[in-house]
A = this chain, B = another copy of it.
Amino acid sequence: MNREIQLIKRPEAAPSHEHLKVVETEQPEPRQGEALVKLLYVSVDPYMRGRMSDAESYIAPFQLNEPMEGGVVAEVVQSKDDSLNQGDIVTAMLPWREYALVKADSVRKVDPSLGPVTTSLGILGMPGLTAYFGLMDIGQPQKGETLVVSGAAGAVGSTVVQIGKIVGCHVVGIAGSDEKTSYLMNELGVDEVINYKKENMADALANACPDGVDVYFDNVGGDISDRVYPLLNKYARIAQCGAIASYNVPNDQGPRMQMHLIKSSALIKGFTVGDYQTRFNEGFNYLSKWLKEGKLTYEETVQEGFETIPDAFFGLFEGKNIGKQLVKVSEPSSN
């Protein structure tokens, strides 16, 4: 038997169990040129919320009564493709389906010598590349500048703060629990941390950024960003990576911010990691070098069981995870 997780209703606000359903399906049989893989790890990411809506976007919406889809690590269990062998570990964008068919050109083999295979979904995968390109290409941080990161304890944010330290910035991390802020300060060496759920944001930011804000890597938008904009220095750069505070709020309203941009001649640029596809090797090389040198570290929050994927996904919007949120679906056969 095989199982998949389907989108059965589009959410207006927060996604919940009424929108997703575990469905039993057929075990597929690979044809010539295909391989059968079994899922080992599934990545759940905030951007997937966007694909649950049918609004026009950079990426096609999920279809109703079809499986959700995302980054996974999987193992080849049967191959009719010459370039894939049984036992190979691969990463790919695949449906949330325990067993799936792939073609060689839609997967990337994972090199286990670079680190645990889960890093291909985290620091050496899309979140790591998102952090690298958003910060370096849009943020253009300079030594001595102040870098503020919202969602700082997440998969992307926790990489951004560390690259900020490598560059030599004064790094301020915003997160939503004492556990997260203590992780940021004690394990990642962030200079100043703010627990936005406990502290007065305006005061806390003013204290943490005595020289204003030069670079803002924004994963959240909403009220938190409203408080950052007034502190922007002349020619500040904002890398708009996400806006998780707005994803589940239809017609979300807030203070208009154009005047802050004019006052500080500041720049906001939205992006998705796909914009940098032609430069992925550059990012991957830096990230794996820094990881090897011990300049980068990472955290994973791993939950177990295919049927728990929806809960892991919903938890992203409640800020439950530190670092990369993963679901372990099965053990590699080689273990």
Q: Flag if A58 contacts B253 (CB, 8 Å).
A: no
Among the 9-residue stretches A95-103, A119-127, A152-160, A234-242, the one with 4 or more Cβ atoms under 8 Å from chain B is A234-242
Q: Binding site of A, secondary structure by majority: helix, strand, loop or mixed?
A: mixed
CB < 8 Å neighbour of A272 from B222, B255, B265: B265
Interface residues on A, range: 35 or more
Q: Flag if B269 contacts A243 (CB, 8 Å).
A: no
Q: Flag if A265 contacts B58 (CB, 8 Å).
A: yes
Interface status of A221 (Cβ within 8 A of chain B):
yes
Known: A234-B58, A269-B265, A275-B265. A246 touches B256 (CB 8 A): yes
Q: Flag if B234 contacts A258 (CB, 8 Å).
A: no
Instruction: Report A234 CB to chain B, min CB distance, Å.
Output: 7
Q: Flag if A264 contacts B225 (CB, 8 Å).
A: no
Contacts of A148 in B (CB 8 A): none
Interface status of A57 (Cβ within 8 A of chain B):
yes
Q: Flag if B269 contacts A266 (CB, 8 Å).
A: yes
Q: CB-nearest residue of chain B relative to A55?
A: B263
Interface status of A214 (Cβ within 8 A of chain B):
no
Interface residues of A, Cβ cutoff 8 Å to B: 50, 56-58, 218, 221-222, 225, 234, 240-243, 246-247, 251-272, 275
